[in-house]
Amino acid sequence: MRKDGRAASELRNTTIDVDYLTAPLACALIRSGATWVLCTASVEEQVPPFLRPKPSPNGPRKEPQSGWVTAEYSMLPGSTGTRSSRAPSGRSKEIERLIGRSLRAAVDLTRLGARTLTIDCDVLQADGGTRTAAITGGYVALALALRRLGDKGLLRESPLRQAVAAVSVGICDGQPYLDLPYEEDSRAEVDMNVVMAQSAEQSPPSFVEVQGTGEHGTFSRQQLDALLGLAEGGIGQLLALQKAALAVGR
Amino acid sequence: MRKDGRAASELRNTTIDVDYLTAPLACALIRSGATWVLCTASVEEQVPPFLRPKPSPNGPRKEPQSGWVTAEYSMLPGSTGTRSSRAPSGRSKEIERLIGRSLRAAVDLTRLGARTLTIDCDVLQADGGTRTAAITGGYVALALALRRLGDKGLLRESPLRQAVAAVSVGICDGQPYLDLPYEEDSRAEVDMNVVMAQSAEQSPPSFVEVQGTGEHGTFSRQQLDALLGLAEGGIGQLLALQKAALAVGR
Amino acid sequence: MRKDGRAASELRNTTIDVDYLTAPLACALIRSGATWVLCTASVEEQVPPFLRPKPSPNGPRKEPQSGWVTAEYSMLPGSTGTRSSRAPSGRSKEIERLIGRSLRAAVDLTRLGARTLTIDCDVLQADGGTRTAAITGGYVALALALRRLGDKGLLRESPLRQAVAAVSVGICDGQPYLDLPYEEDSRAEVDMNVVMAQSAEQSPPSFVEVQGTGEHGTFSRQQLDALLGLAEGGIGQLLALQKAALAVGR
Amino acid sequence: MRKDGRAASELRNTTIDVDYLTAPLACALIRSGATWVLCTASVEEQVPPFLRPKPSPNGPRKEPQSGWVTAEYSMLPGSTGTRSSRAPSGRSKEIERLIGRSLRAAVDLTRLGARTLTIDCDVLQADGGTRTAAITGGYVALALALRRLGDKGLLRESPLRQAVAAVSVGICDGQPYLDLPYEEDSRAEVDMNVVMAQSAEQSPPSFVEVQGTGEHGTFSRQQLDALLGLAEGGIGQLLALQKAALAVGR
Amino acid sequence: MRKDGRAASELRNTTIDVDYLTAPLACALIRSGATWVLCTASVEEQVPPFLRPKPSPNGPRKEPQSGWVTAEYSMLPGSTGTRSSRAPSGRSKEIERLIGRSLRAAVDLTRLGARTLTIDCDVLQADGGTRTAAITGGYVALALALRRLGDKGLLRESPLRQAVAAVSVGICDGQPYLDLPYEEDSRAEVDMNVVMAQSAEQSPPSFVEVQGTGEHGTFSRQQLDALLGLAEGGIGQLLALQKAALAVGR
Amino acid sequence: MRKDGRAASELRNTTIDVDYLTAPLACALIRSGATWVLCTASVEEQVPPFLRPKPSPNGPRKEPQSGWVTAEYSMLPGSTGTRSSRAPSGRSKEIERLIGRSLRAAVDLTRLGARTLTIDCDVLQADGGTRTAAITGGYVALALALRRLGDKGLLRESPLRQAVAAVSVGICDGQPYLDLPYEEDSRAEVDMNVVMAQSAEQSPPSFVEVQGTGEHGTFSRQQLDALLGLAEGGIGQLLALQKAALAVGR
């Protein structure tokens, strides 16, 4: 049995509160055990330079063909016992790229119009699994933001294609575990983050991203299979929690 | 009457929750209307370079004569309707210096030992008065952190000298007002932040810092006097709220 | 009596030389005792991004409604006995913001046209009170620059609304003093910078900015009143010096 | 069939030249089709700060318990048809972290002594799969460098634990392919980088890292299995090429 | 005699390979002894801001009157025995400016059209004289790139005005030497880089740039004359090598 | 004749004032026509990292074998009619390296002790030739600083070996000219900076640095000889001015 009493395939106690803050366009606070991530969505009526059509000297101004969804990730300095610097690290950038790619899988960007949605994921308190919590909570903020843009009549069709959720799995003391807190994560032989998506019509969920690393050891094909199985189970539960949270939000 | 129905000399509804988060050494979440600031305290067993004694080639290593208290201030990008950049601005640095100076007025640094306390003030939601809320809430996190260092036997005498609280005042439509929300702050002719301190024995509170700016106009000596009077009243109430919050915290 | 023999309410010997340099649009060298600040004004025929109207796809190009006045402040590395780094610090930025705000109080930006005036304040030699000297000298460079833009026929009406000057006051050894040199400033219990403005018609001057800090102690309302009184006296003299300097300049 | 005529499970023509340059400690130039990566190894007789023992005031100076292996990755601006900037991007940092983790899996850091090996991977020409080529070639430079440190009598036991190689796989037009050139990589639905290790005694190789991303789509468990199978086949061949290259090098 | 057996006026063994890489527009790998510099040319269909005509509100968009040629210079970290940092240094920038100025002397920028040619000079291996090798090799990449732009019909007339080559000379142990390797360069009393140009019609070559520095001593007019004489001889040979290399390239 | 009425071989009116400022260790203000450079010298009792002996674990702390002289160069933003940015450019760094190298030629660093002299050269007003004025004026500040360190008993023997001065020459409209103002410099075909040194015993001065650039054309050996002749004449006069200025300074 694990130190916190959970079974190997058991998620931490997880809640998702929508509209915790009222100033931003949309907000979801996800709490997985002592890992708390505040996800807020903002919209800007322009797209990044790489999506803008090249200007032609004489022709009319062209509109971008697609919108964009991006993410920023940051840990508050006081989110852990030992204060960490605010300076963005290489690690943060890598995590932001993962969150951004994962959330874009949820959206048909061509239906978004020439605008950018930014999902800010700020870790209030960190106890392992912050990047996967950011994806799971970030999806809720994203879906809520799209609903509100739709309510304002800014979208012809909903750009939402499928729900996206994520969880960490790993091998600790030779055992495959679901949803590792810091205590397990820091000594895990293998650490894996799994992101999956589920559209309304489709069953079962499929993979968006699999990132497995042998931090202190390598892993066999058999171990990899066990980890993927645990992840599939956990993500099923998280997709249900997201659905329930979105049913509550306006 | 003001748009939110308050009298000119009335504070917004203000609460201070201690131990909102459990990972940091100490934490206070202050909510003044829709302005929410999360203040967390961390400790590091070293001091900044300018407090370290110069090494002498042959003599024994000298210990610093004093500790340090510093603050960092940041607004979460999603804390307002229009997303702001994470890049620290000149404005942030100026606010950090104000918060740091104000909180150091609460502490006898020579009793702190060779350590640094950092108070991180992260604005979760911004509706005017974030820097003064950060000082008022930051003092609570600081006092709580010192109490816990004392409980661990790390301090011979308490370094806490006096309580420190802050509030904004300003002139809007020619009227002096206490505790301006963004709607008033953005169009105020004069904007003033007042920081005051009160030691147990002393009555009444005295000034730590007065920063008044004629953003859209100048102000007379008489108007300055009226603003200082409003600030004194508001700070008296905030000092009482701090005391109550600290009575609750472990 | 003070170490340099001055009375508590006496300014240091202060001179303002206009056109010390001939290359810039306008230049004023202010010397307050051993504090020397070179203030030069430059003009650029564009405004910062935040003043530019949003482009509309089909309509005609819109002109900005207002010009801008900004300041930069820097200490030459050799301006003190101990060489300081050229890297701009948070302190510099805070001072630049103060100088910029103060000088903008002198100007009706809507009459300036779509241009930016930059007042560069370079401290040649520092002996306390550099930021207030920069404001007092910077106003002279600004007024001279506006006169020359007017002479060239670039301004319909003069944008100059009122004169702006500044001085430091502080409490040292329990005594309130005017115009602190470094020797007093570094050990002052309370340090205050006061900026005031005087339009031609108006009497007496009114406040633009009041920044008082209890660096090594707090201060009572009565002490604050004494400091403001000293500042009002000193600024009256500085306004006269500015007038005389501007009468000399072409 | 693929545009370049290869079978789905066929590697590009791949060569590894050791000692292409003679100035560095060790060097391997890997060419996989038109992807050329120059891998050079340098040694420094110190370790990064996080591996240095905390100094104790009175006790003797402690030696680090372990050495370090790190990697840097950079694309020459002219390595593609369209010139890219030299400024390191978030993408570069993410790739460096992957290469560094992968190469550390090859080494017992405690046997390395208090030194750092840096493997610089400079992409001379890029046609897809640069990060996996950097790992495969970087391992050869690393092994060669360790051999030379050993020959100089600087290592008591060889720190080399196992060989490490990497390859990319992906799904293109619904087909799983091994070793994607840019033409396939840029339009692949799923892109996966697989790093594996093989110690002398062990058979078969095990996973060090698996990073699969649904760039333009999601993927099923079955597709994931097919990709892993292709990768295992390709890595077997690359491990043989490494062995042959190292047999040639001094 | 010199340590490497050369006569005082003898170049190191020097080769220039064109099209070493095939991805870039043009490429030349120059090897002077153990100094290897990879020079690649890229083209971008725009010019730097300082060459763009100021936009006029009502008139038609104006085209730039001239193109631009610029250079970037970088040493691979592993190019020497002791690894050097990738961070661009002041030294790199100074060298880039020299290479850029020298290569622009070869070109009539008004015939280039509104485009920028960038010559990237990456030092694969460094043994003294990298900046002069970069100029000599960079000219070959530049000439090749212009030929290819001409072949594509993008240039009305060839912008190539003259060939440009460079060499280092110096005084070592009191003797003037041509083409210093690192062993001589690092202890030279005087170090000089000479860049010369030769148009088809003109004879003899004339100076583009002379940069002589007394690193460990000063030098007389007579010594300066001797160094210039050696440089003229070496550059004559390099101009012939460039011609031969360009005869081979497509 | 030249636009300012000077003969081809005539210097601009040049003055050197020592002790213009009193706060720094030493100060020289050089004015060459409308080019004004303020040179101040500071001393720091430590040397840059590359001059510090490697620490040995058990042996005694070693002292550096040599001191250091370095220079910083900056143009005040308002030093020209068109305001320039404060951000240090590649050009500034190149100039700083030139000034530093030139001034180090004046000094026997082994006699300086384990200290660093920094010569800050701040251009108050720029009209061509700022870098050569900085060297000529910087030498005076340096010599004065060394004299004062000697007077304080900090130097066993004077580290001053020889005087160093610099001047610009160039070819304008086909004519070689001495000491170019901006009007000539900006359109010169060839621009050359010459630095020379003269020890007490030695006659004539010898070269420290020669930097000639064909900005808009190349130059023949004969033209180079004419320019060097002009420079030798001008530097002779500047050396005499330095001597006179140093006779005045305490």
Q: For E127-147, what is the HEC assignment?
A: CCCHHHHHHHHHHHHHHHHHH
Cα maximum dimension of chain F: 71
What's the rounded Cα separation, in Å, for the pair F53 and D183?
A: 54
D6 burial via Cβ count (<10 Å: 0-12, 13-18, 19+) = middle
A156 φ/ψ sector (left φ>0, alpha ψ -120 to 50, else beta)? alpha
- Exposure pattern of E13-52 as b/e (b: 16+ CB <10 Å)? ebebbbebbebbbbbbbbbbbbbbbbbbbbbeeebeeeee
Phi-psi region of E153 (alpha: psi -120 to 50; beta: other; left: phi over 0): left
| Interface check F191 vs E, CB under 8 A | no
Quote the tokens at residue C83: 């060489």
Cα atoms in the Cβ-side hemisphere of radius 13 Å centred on A147: 13
Indicate the SS3 state at residue B40.
Answer: strand
H or E segment at B39?
strand B35-44
| Location of structure tokens 């003009």 | C43
D222 three-class SS: helix
- Looking at residue D201, what is its pLDDT? 61
**Residue-wise pLDDT tens digits, F98-147:** 999 999 999 999 999 999 999 999 999 999 999 999 999 999 999 999 99
Please report, for residues C33, E173, E207, E235, E243, the alpha-carbon distance to residue E198 in angstroms, rounded to integers and kept in the order given.
61, 32, 9, 10, 11
Residue C56 above 80 pLDDT? Answer: no
C103 Cβ partners below 8 Å, 6+ apart?
A: C69, C71, C119, C135, C138, C139, C142, C164
Phi, psi for residue A157 in degrees, rounded to 5: -125, 155
Residue C41: pLDDT band by 50, 70, 90 thresholds? very high
Contacts of A40 in chain B (CB under 8 A): 76-79
* Residues of B whose CB is below 8 A from A24: 78-81
Taking an 8 Å cut-off on Cβ atoms, the answer to whether C80 and F125 are in contact is no
Query: What mean pLDDT comes out for the span A220-230?
Result: 96
Residue F126: Cβ within 10 Å count: 20
Start-to-end CA distance of chain E, whole Å, equals: 41
In chain E, whose CA is at the least distance from the CA of F213?
E209
Tokens at C242, concatenated: 């500015």
DSSP state, residue C214: -
Binding partners of C (≥3 Cβ pairs within 8 A): B, F
Q: Establish if D246 touches chain A: CB-CB under 8 angstroms.
A: no
> Which of C122, C126, C127 minimises the CB distance to F76?
C122
Q: How many CB pairs under 8 A join A and D?
A: 79
Upstream peptide bond of E204 is cis (omega within 30 degrees of 0)? yes
**CA distances in angstroms from A11 to A129, A166, A241, D65, E65, listed in the order given:** 11, 12, 12, 37, 66
List of chain D residues with pLDDT < 70 = 55-61, 201-202, 249-250
Quick one: CA torsion of E102, E108, E112, E116, rounded to 10 degrees? 20
Q: Do residues C140 and C30 make contact, with C-beta atoms less than 8 angstroms apart?
A: yes
The per-residue pLDDT for F60 is 64
How far, CA to CA in Å, does C106 sit from each of A146, C24, C143, C196?
47, 21, 9, 10
Alpha-carbon distance F29 to F21, whole Å?
Answer: 9
pLDDT band at E59 (very low <50, low <70, confident <90, very high): low
Q: Which residues lie below 8 Å from residue B160, measured CB to CB, with a gap of 6+?
A: B106, B107, B108, B143, B146
* CA nearest to D212, candidates D185, D193, D196: D193
The beta-carbon neighbor of B80 closest among A23, A36, A86 is A23
Angle at A151 between CA A146 and CA A154, to 5 degrees: 70
| Contact status, residue F10 vs residue F177, Cβ threshold 8 Å | no
- Token code pair at residue A60: 């009319």
- Looking at residue C195, its pLDDT comes to 98
The residues pairing with A191 across neighbouring beta strands, listed in sequence order, are A170, A213
Cα E103 from Cα C44, distance rounded (Å): 34
Structure tokens at B228: 């200082």
Nearest CA in chain A to B36: A21
Residue E60 in this model has a pLDDT that exceeds 80: no
Strand partners, A68: A116
Q: Can you give the pLDDT at residue B57?
A: 56
State pLDDT tens for residues C148-204: 999 999 999 999 999 999 999 999 989 999 999 999 999 999 999 999 999 876 678
Q: Which two tokens stand for residue E246?
A: 């360009």
Strand partners, E73: E121
Residue C86, pLDDT score: 86
For residues D60 and E4, the model is more confident at E4
> How close C218 gets to chain B, by Cα (Å)?
5
The string of pLDDT tens digits covering residues E135-178 is: 999 999 999 999 999 999 999 999 999 999 999 999 998 999 99
Q: Is F216 on the interface with E (CB under 8 A)?
A: no
CA angle D96, D100, D102 (to 5 degrees): 120
- Which region holds residue F141: left if phi is over 0, alpha if psi is between -120 and 50, else beta? alpha
pLDDT digits (tens, 9 = 90+) for E70-109: 999 999 998 987 888 888 888 899 999 999 999 999 999 9
Token pair belonging to A227? 């980890």
Query: Across the interface, which of B97, B197, B218 has its CB nearest the CB of C94?
Result: B97
Give helix F130-151 / helix F90-104 axis angle, nearest 10°.
Answer: 50
Q: Are E94 and F101 in contact (CB under 8 A)?
A: no
Round to whole Å and give the CA distance between D180 and D189.
12
- The neighbour count for residue B44, using CB atoms within 10 Å, is 13
Looking at CA atoms only, how far is residue A90 from chain D in angstroms? 6
Q: Where are the alpha helices (DSSP H) in A152-203?
A: 182-185
Q: How far apart are the first and last CA of chain F?
A: 41
Most D CBs within 10 A among A210, A219, A224, A239, hence the mutation to make, goes to A210
Judged against a pLDDT cut of 90, whether residue C57 lies above it is answered with: no
Determine the average pLDDT of the residues in E4-28: 95
Gap between the terminal Cα atoms of chain B: 41
Q: Which amino acid makes up residue E181?
A: P
CA-to-CA dists, residue A198 to A29, A107, A227, C9, D213, angstroms: 22, 12, 19, 77, 16
pLDDT tens, chain B, 250 aa long: 799 999 999 999 999 999 999 889 999 999 999 999 999 999 999 999 889 887 665 556 677 889 999 999 999 998 988 888 888 888 899 999 999 999 999 999 999 999 999 999 999 999 999 999 999 999 999 999 999 999 999 999 999 999 999 999 999 989 999 999 999 999 999 999 999 999 876 678 999 999 999 988 899 999 999 999 999 999 999 999 999 999 986 6
Sign of CA dihedral D102, D105, D110, D111: negative
| Facing B221 at nearest CB: one of C94, C101, C228 | C228
CB-CB: which of E36, E77, E120 is closest to D76?
E120
Pick among C45, C76, C120 to test the F interface (most F CBs inside 10 A): C76
- C-alpha dist (Å) from residue C40 to A16, C16, C71, E248, F134: 57, 13, 10, 59, 21
Low-confidence ranges of chain F (pLDDT < 70): 55-61, 201-202, 249-250
**What pTM value is reported for the model?**
0.89
| Three-state SS annotation for chain F | CCCCCCCCCCCCCEEEEECCCCCCCEEEEEEECCEEEEEEEEEECCCCHHHCCCCCCCCCCCCCCCCEEEEEEEECHHHCCCCCCCCCCHHHHHHHHHHHHHHHCCECHHHCCCCEEEEEEEEEECCCCHHHHHHHHHHHHHHHHHHHHHHCCCCCCCCECCEEEEEEEEEECCEEEECCCHHHHCCCCEEEEEEEEECCCCCCCEEEEEEEECCCCCECHHHHHHHHHHHHHHHHHHHHHHHHHHHHCC
Q: Is E191 on the interface with F (CB under 8 A)?
A: no
Residues from chain B contacting residue A25 (CB–CB below 8 Å): 81
Please answer yes or no on whether E207 and F215 come within 8 Å at the CB atom: no
State both tokens at E169.
């000379």
Instruction: Name the residue of chain A whose CA is nearest to B21's CA.
Output: A125
Strands laid side by side in the F163-172 sheet? E175-178, E163-172, E190-198, E206-213, F206-213, F190-198, F163-172, F175-178
C-alpha span between D70 and E83 (Å, rounded) = 13
Q: Which residue of E has its CA nearest to F220?
A: E206
Is residue C198 classed as helix, strand or coil in its secondary structure? strand
